[in-house]
Amino acid sequence: MVLRTFGWSFGVTAAGLVTAFLFGGWEAFALVGILSILEISLSFDNAVVNAGVLKKMNEFWQKIFLTIGILIAVFGMRLVFPIVIVSVSAQLGPIEAVDLALNDQERYEQLVTDAHPAIAAFGGMFLLMIFLNFLFDEERDVHWLKVIERPLARFGQVEGLAVVVALIALLISGTVLGTHAVLYDGHSDESATVYLAGIAGLLTYLIVNGLSSHFENKIEEDEEQQHEAEEAARRAGKQAPVVLLAGKAAFFMFLYLEVLDASFSFDGVIGAFAITNDPVVIALGLGIGAMYVRSLTVYLVRQGTLDEYRYLEHGAHYAIGALGILLLITIRWHVNEVITGLIGVALIGTAFWTSLRHNRRDALQGGGEGGEGGSPAQKPEVPSGV
């Protein structure tokens, strides 16, 4: 199971490390290993959220996410994205930006760092919206931190509350943080940039999430038929079928996952420059890490981990909220990437531990009491050939 799921990641790791050694010797080899670990630690919560969406999609779109999606994640966000940033911010052509990345790495790092306020505002707002919509979801039955989540879920009845809170956060970010934004050679007033990028991140979330939700609602009739089929199957003692997202609904879910992955990769790409400014080494290290995130996503879906450990997805969303807030904070103050990674791992680890405690308590009490959570959902299949 492990080899089948992580086989491609092991292969890419070996190829990446060999390439790094041939490119820059043992120093490049070590740097690629460090960057890989950094990316995995920063993106573990990304894998958990990805799995929550991926399990709803049919086999075709799962394959698209695990093939084309990984190409976008590795080559698009980890290699092309920084070059695009340099090209836009310095008003250079793509070829000139590539030449700058290869031949003037100090200037290249400076341009990417100077673009950080815009990147942090965009990614921070996108991730914050994911977290806020999770907190204000009044239809969610399972609550982890009940003292916090139950009252906030009731506030979810207020239309557009998540957007209002996000805009307040953006206003504070622009006025308090953006006026003293960190640039390569000091601080500068980047409040206008923060406002513009933050609104762009908010709009991106609303458009992509809104479209995916719109088409997902269109298959509610199929889901109702599924429930009827499940009841009939239970009465007959058979396994219930699972209706998975396809067509336009799955397409917009795929877009949502790619934008989400992009938002998660922002801090990794920027943080990588604290370790090295060589674009080849950065692409190799973060690319290897991205492969493990994809493989971990598949593992979580195949094992039905999110159904078995009921609070794991909660921990991931809290980690997303923490990352979104930290991204906004880094507009003005530097936050060490180790701290960012440890916060995410701590939140997910705590959620996993409390899930284990709940399962043990439930088992001792005879299980299956219903209430919050109910019985585990049917595990959807993930294509075995990926």
Specify if 76 maps to a domain.
Answer: yes
CA quadruple 27, 31, 32, 38: dihedral, nearest 10: 170
Residue 376 confidence (pLDDT): 46
DSSP 240: P
Query: What CA–CA distance (Å, rounded) separates 180 from 358?
Result: 46
Specify if 335 maps to a domain.
Answer: yes
User: Which domain covers residue 159, as residue numbers?
Assistant: 2-364
Specify if 381 maps to a domain.
Answer: no
Contact 259, 208 (CB under 8 A): yes
Q: What angle separates helix 2-54 from helix 279-303, to the nearest 10 degrees?
A: 80
Closest alpha carbon to 282 in 5, 78, 93, 113: 78
Sign of the C-alpha dihedral computed for residues 284, 286, 290 and 291 taken in this order: positive
Query: What CA–CA distance (Å, rounded) separates 167 from 162?
Result: 9
Residue 379 confidence (pLDDT): 46
DSSP 139: T
- Residue 273 has, within 13 A of its CA and on its CB side, a CA count of 22
Specify if 230 maps to a domain.
Answer: yes
Number of domain units in the chain: 1
Contact 279, 108 (CB under 8 A): yes
Sign of the C-alpha dihedral computed for residues 342, 348, 354 and 359 taken in this order: negative
- Assign 140 to helix, strand or coil: coil
DSSP 3-state percent helix, strand, coil across the chain (nearest 5): 75, 0, 20
Specify if 376 maps to a domain.
Answer: no
Instruction: Write the burial class of residue 187 (CB in 10 Å: 0-12 exposed, 13-18 middle, 19+ buried).
Output: exposed
Contact 343, 69 (CB under 8 A): no
Query: What CA–CA distance (Å, rounded) separates 296 from 290?
Result: 10
Specify if 101 maps to a domain.
Answer: yes
Query: What CA–CA distance (Å, rounded) separates 138 from 117?
Result: 33
Contact 20, 32 (CB under 8 A): yes
Specify if 384 maps to a domain.
Answer: no
Strands 186-188 and 181-183: antiparallel
CA quadruple 183, 186, 188, 193: dihedral, nearest 10: 0
Determine which helix (DSSP H) or strand (DSSP E) holds 186, and give its type and residue range: strand 186-188
pLDDT tens-place values along the chain, 386 residues long:
677 778 878 888 999 999 999 988 898 898 888 888 777 766 667 777 778 777 777 777 777 877 787 777 777 777 777 777 777 767 778 888 888 877 887 887 788 788 888 888 988 898 899 899 888 988 788 889 888 888 888 887 788 899 999 999 999 999 999 998 988 778 889 999 999 999 998 998 888 777 767 666 655 555 566 666 667 767 776 665 555 555 666 777 777 777 777 766 666 666 666 567 677 888 888 888 888 887 888 788 777 777 788 888 888 888 888 888 988 998 999 887 677 778 878 888 898 899 888 888 888 886 444 444 444 444 444 444 44
Give the predicted TM-score (pTM) of the model. 0.70
What are the CA-CA distances from residue 226 to residues 53, 60, 213, 238, 280 (Å)? 18, 20, 19, 14, 49
Q: Which residues contact 180 (CB under 8 A, 6 or more apart)?
A: 187, 188, 189, 332
- State the first-to-last Cα distance of the chain, in angstroms, to the nearest integer: 12
Closest alpha carbon to 32 in 263, 278, 261: 278
Specify if 183 maps to a domain.
Answer: yes
* Other beta carbons within 10 Å of 231: 11
